[in-house]
Amino acid sequence: MCGFDVLSPQISYGTKLVEEPTRQQYLKDWKCRLQNIFSEEPLSLPKLSDFDHKSLMLHEENGKKRVSSIGHRIIP
């Protein structure tokens, strides 16, 4: 199956409102991330086969309930 790996988001708050030094730091962080983007570890997300096809709930694992629906991410 082809597709994309999902990486952690790059979040920069208030880019139009922050002071210039903060904005410059956001840009430095973004540049550094782009230079190393191919070595980043993708997020671990559930596969479609991990869900019950009728309820759209994740199958229980080791007796523990996992996240509630397809729209939620699992954090190991």
C-alpha angle 17/20/21, rounded to 5°?
125
* pLDDT given for residue 36 in this prediction: 94
Least confident span in 5-19, 21-35, 43-57: 43-57
Q: What are phi and psi of 41, to 5 degrees?
A: -85, 125
pLDDT at 46 over 90: no
Question: 33 pLDDT band (50/70/90 cuts)?
Answer: very high
Q: Give percent above pLDDT 90 in the chain.
A: 41
* Residue 72 scores a pLDDT above 60: no
